[in-house]
Structures are given as structure tokens and as C-alpha cells.
Amino acid sequence: MGLVQKILTWIVKRVLSLAVSVVVLALGVSWLTVRGLSSSRIEALGTVPPRQVTLVLGAAMWDDGPSPYLAARLETAAALYHAGKTEVIIVSGTADGGYSEPEGMKAWLVTAGVPAGRIVMDALGDDTYSSCYRARNVYGVRDLIVVTQDYHLPRAVAACRLLEIEVVGVPETERIRNFDYRRYQARELLANVKMLFDVVIERSVSTDGDPNAVAVALSTPR
């Protein structure tokens, strides 16, 4: 091996080592930050203090209705409403053409006995950061319950807190455990990094929507 090749090999090894170190550091710091922000802000459905507004984060809609993960979130939100723990539910997710998570979420909640007028649809909540951002900056919510799976909840709570929302998280109660669950758990490591990056750079999010929607929903009879 010639001298030039040895030097190039040394440089490549050092660059790869540095890259791995940076990635590990980013994953570790983001995980610790998210856990630190969320550890005291997660409650069970039965013990969570009442809040006027609950934010349900979207997930996949299937042809015949919400996916099992989304249905579990909606079941928990409906239980919070019927227990008098919350007054209005924001359903936040993606809408694209004929596909609409918020519309499907609202339809499911209505069949579960939640009045349609007490549900606010946010069709521009394309990710967790966007949903939390829009809850505060479009709908004017400063205090809420957020509902999602337990693996996702720390990031959701942390995002809301970093966006200056007083938040408590409630995990869905079905506790689905399958291969997808483990995959989603692992994905959270990178998602934590992205969420914190979005907060640091103050990523722009659409503010389209009715700023009075939550206030109107609160005035609707139960």
C-alpha cells in the first residue's frame, strides 16, 4: 500500500469515526432531552387532571376506517370526553386528495358518542411538531392533553412543551404490541432528533385555519 493510499485510508477511517460519534451524540442528547421534558407530564386516563382540549395525533386510515393504532388513540380520546376529562377534541393529521385522517378520526369519534360540534379537524397536522405548533398558533390552545401511543408520547409532550404549551400526555389504553410497535419504537430515536431540529430552526408551519374553531366548539352543547 502506497503512502497516499495509507493517508487516504486513515482520513476515511477518522471521518467515519467522527460521523458515528456525532450520530450517537445526537441520538443520545435528543433522547435525554425528550425524556427530561416529558417524564413528569404523562398520566393514566383515570388520573389525568381535566383539560378543556385534547389533541389526538393522526395515524394511518385504512379503507374500512382507522388503523388499529389510530383507533386505539381515538378510543382513549372518547373515554376522556365521556369521563368529563375534556370538552373539545382536536383531531390532527394529514389530508391529501380523497385521503383525510382528520375526517376519518372525526367520523369514528361521532360514532363513539362525541358530538360533532365538539370536534375540531386540523388537516394540516402532517407531523407531531406541526400538530403541536398549529394547536398553539392557529387554534390558540395553551393547555391541553395529548393522546398517542406510549412510544410516541414523550416526543409529543416534549414538542408541545418546547412550543410553550402546558401539556399532559395520556397513552392509548389498548397497548398494542406487535412487530410494528418495536419498529416504531426504534424510529423514535431519529424522530426525536428531527423534532428538536425543527424547534431550534423554528421550522415554518402553515397557519391556515379558523382561529375561533376551538372557542366555537367549547360553546357547543354537549
Q: What is the pLDDT of residue 55?
A: 98
Confirm whether pTM is higher than 0.85.
yes
Distance CA 81, CA 85 (A): 6
CATH class of the domain comprising 36-218 = alpha beta
Kindly report the backbone phi and psi dihedral angles of residue 61, in degrees, each rounded to the nearest multiple of 5, phi listed first: -100, 135
The Cα–Cα gap between 76 and 105 comes to 12
Q: pLDDT tens across 64-110, in order?
A: 899 999 999 999 999 999 999 999 999 999 999 889 999 999 999 99
Q: Which pLDDT score is estimated for 125? A: 96
Structure-derived torsion over alpha carbons of residues 208, 139, 92, 198, reported in degrees to the nearest 10: 70
pLDDT tens-digit readout, 123-181: 999 999 999 999 999 999 999 999 999 999 999 999 999 999 999 999 997 777 777 88
Cα 170 from Cα 90, distance rounded (Å) = 14
Q: How much is the pLDDT for 195?
A: 94
- Banded model confidence at residue 1, pLDDT cuts 50, 70, 90: low
- Can you give the pLDDT at residue 60? 92
